[in-house]
Structure 1
Amino acid sequence: MTSSIFISGAAQGIGAATAKLFYQQGYKVGIYDINLEQAEQLAQSLGPNAKAGLLDVSQYDQWQSALTEFNEWAGEINILLNNAGILYSGAFENTDISSHHRTFNINVNGVLNGCHAALPFLKQASHARIINMSSASAIYGQADLVSYSASKFAVRGITEGLDVEWQKYGIRVLDIMPLFVQTAMVKGMDAGTIQNMGVSLSAQDVAQEIYRVARLKNHHLTVTHHTVGIKTELMYHLSRFSPQLINRVTNLLLSKNK
C-alpha cells in the first residue's frame, strides 16, 4: 500500500512545498486548507494521488470529517503534518486581543484538534507519525511576536508530551523548528528579530527536513525536536547551555529595530 500524508494549511507556503515533495516521492497527499479553491488547484496540478479538502483547523468536527474522508480515499493515514498557522507581529498592546486569541485558536487548538482526531486512524496505520510545525520562536519568548511565540511553546509542549505518551501505540510525535521562512506569513512583519536575523530559509528547505524526519525509522529517531538551518540549530543548542540572563540579553539585542 502507498504511504500517505495529511497536511493542514497545505494550499500555500510550507504546506504546499511539502505536498509537492511528498507527491514526487510517491505518497498519496491530502491537501487540506481553509482556502478550498487554492487547495483544489494545487491538487489538480499534482495529479491523481493528491486530494484536496476544506479544513478550518479550529473546528474539531471539520477535522473528523476531513480525516475520515482522506482515510477512506487513501486507505490509511501514515503521517499527519500539523502545518496550519498564523502570525501577528508588532507591539503586543497594538495588536487587538481578538487577534491574540485567534493565534492560539489556530496555532494551538488546531494542533490539539488534529492530534486528537487523528489518533484512531494513526493507531491502525503502519509507520504512524505526527509532525507538528513549531518554530525557533519556541526557544525563547520573542518580543513583537509574543502570542505567536507563546503558541509555538505550546506546540513544543504538546509534541514532547505526546511523543512520550503515544509510544504505547508506536506513534512518534515530532516537531520541526525553523527560523523565519520565505513565505507570505513573514511579509511586512513588524519585529526587530526578523530585521536583524533576516529570512534565509525557503519553504523547500523546511519541506526537505519534514521529508527526512518522516522517512527515519523509529529506532533511528533519538530526538523529538528538529531544527532547520544553521542559525536555528545554533540558537537551540546555546539556549540549552546558556544562563537565563544571557538568553534574555541576546534576545533583547536581536529584537531591537535597526
Structure 2
Amino acid sequence: MSLNIFITGAAQGIGAATAQLFVKHGFKVGIYDKNIAQATTLAEQLGQNAHAGFLDVSDETSWKNALNDFIEWAGELNILINNAGILFSGAFENTALDQHLRTIDINVKGVLIGCHSAFEYLKKARFARIINLSSASAIYGQADLASYSASKFAVRGLTEALDVEWQKYGIRVLDVMPLFVQTAMVKDMDAASIQKIGVNLSPQDVAEQIFKLAKSPNHLLTPTHTPIGLKTKVLYQLSALSPQIINRLTNLYFSKRA
C-alpha cells in the first residue's frame, strides 16, 4: 500500500534519513523544514516522489499553510511524522531561560499544533497514523537535559492520550524513543550521560524503526512506545520493573561527571 508521508524537520538528520527511506520504497514524502533551501535540495535529489515546503512547527498558521500545500500535492495525508526538535544541554540554572522556552515551543508546542492541525486530514484518510519523536530522556528525567527531557515526557504523554482518544477514528498515535543519535543535535553536548552511554545510533537506525511502525497493522498489538537500541530497551524495561529509587540511582550514576 502506497502512503503519503509528511515529515517535519526533514531537511537533515533523522528527518532526512526517514524521507530517503520512504521515497526509496515508493512513498510520496513531504519534506518540511524552516531551512527551505536545504529541504528543496533534498527533495530535488530524491525525485518526483518528494516535495519540499516551509514549516515553522511552533506557528499554527505555518502548519495550516504547509498541510494545505501538502494536500494539494499529494491528495491525502496518511502519516504525520513529528520529527522536528531542538536540544540545549548543560546545567539548568546556567542555561538561558529563552533557550528553555524555545525547547518547549519546538518540542512540545510543535508536536501539539501538528497533531491538532493534521487531525481533519487524518480522520478522512484510508489509513492514518502519527509517529512522534520522543526520546529515552522521557523514561526518566535527565540531568543537564532538564527542559529537553521534560519536553519529551510531554510528547510521550500526548502520544499515549491521543492513541487512546483517536482509536475511534482509526488513527494510531505512536512514538519512537531513541537514545543519543549521531546528528548535529548532540554535537558538543554538555551532559555526563552522553559521555558514559555514548552515541551508538545513526539516523538510519531510527528511520528504519519509523518505517516499520508506518507499515505495521493498525491493531492493539502495535505498541504505543518503541524504544530504539539495546541500551534504551534496557532502561525502558528497568523503569517499568524496578522501584523508583533504583531508577533514580541509575540516572544519578549516568549524570555524575568524571
Report the TM-score, using the length of structure 1 for normalisation.
Answer: 0.99
Q: How many residues align?
A: 258
Asked whether the equivalents of residues 43 and 50 of structure 2 are also in contact (C-alpha less than 8 Å), the reply is yes
Verify: 1:5 aligned to 2:2, yes or no: no
Q: How far is 1:130 from its partner?
A: 0.2
One-letter amino acid matched to 1:91 = A
Which deviates the most, 79-88 or 65-74?
65-74
Match of 2:71 in 1: 71
Unmatched segments (≥5 aa) in structure 1: none
One-letter amino acid matched to 2:119 = L
Give the secondary-structure state (helix, strand or coil) at the position aligned to 2:219. Answer: helix
Mapped to 2, the partners of 1:125 and 1:221 lie a distance apart of 21
Q: How far is 1:71 from its partner?
A: 1.0
Unmatched segments (≥5 aa) in structure 2: none
Structure-2 change in CA distance of 1:35 and 1:246 (3 Å) = same
Give the secondary-structure state (helix, strand or coil) at the position aligned to 1:223. Answer: coil
Q: Residues 148-171 of structure 1, C-alpha deviation per residue, up to 9 Å, x if partnerless? A: 000000000000000000001100
Mapped to 2, the partners of 1:52 and 1:183 lie a distance apart of 21
Match of 1:225 in 2: 225
Match of 1:238 in 2: 238
Match of 1:216 in 2: 216
Verify: 1:58 aligned to 2:58, yes or no: yes
One-letter amino acid matched to 1:257 = R
Give the secondary-structure state (helix, strand or coil) at the position aligned to 2:53. Answer: strand
One-letter amino acid matched to 2:79 = I
1:1-258 alignment runs, 5 A limit = 2-219=2-219, 221-258=221-258
Q: How far is 1:222 from its partner?
A: 3.4
Q: Residues 24-82 of structure 1, C-alpha deviation per residue, up to 9 Å, x if partnerless? A: 01000000001000000000000011000000000011101101110121010110000
Q: How far is 1:220 from its partner?
A: 6.3
Mapped to 1, the partners of 2:12 and 2:84 lie a distance apart of 10
One-letter amino acid matched to 1:135 = S
Q: How far is 1:2 from its partner?
A: 3.6
Mapped to 2, the partners of 1:9 and 1:221 lie a distance apart of 29
Q: How far is 1:219 from its partner?
A: 2.4
Asked whether the equivalents of residues 180 and 199 of structure 2 are also in contact (C-alpha less than 8 Å), the reply is yes
Mapped to 2, the partners of 1:248 and 1:77 lie a distance apart of 41
CA RMSD of aligned residues (A): 0.9
Q: Residues 164-190 of structure 1, C-alpha deviation per residue, up to 9 Å, x if partnerless? A: 000011000000000000000000000
Report the TM-score, using the length of structure 2 for normalisation.
Answer: 0.99
Asked whether the equivalents of residues 216 and 222 of structure 2 are also in contact (C-alpha less than 8 Å), the reply is no
Mapped to 2, the partners of 1:220 and 1:28 lie a distance apart of 26
Q: Residues 114-172 of structure 1, C-alpha deviation per residue, up to 9 Å, x if partnerless? A: 00000011011111000000000000000000000000000000000000000011000
Mapped to 1, the partners of 2:144 and 2:215 lie a distance apart of 36
Mapped to 1, the partners of 2:57 and 2:185 lie a distance apart of 17
Which deviates the most, 213-222 or 230-239?
213-222
Mapped to 1, the partners of 2:161 and 2:220 lie a distance apart of 20
Asked whether the equivalents of residues 176 and 226 of structure 2 are also in contact (C-alpha less than 8 Å), the reply is yes
Mapped to 1, the partners of 2:162 and 2:64 lie a distance apart of 19
Q: How far is 1:218 from its partner?
A: 1.1
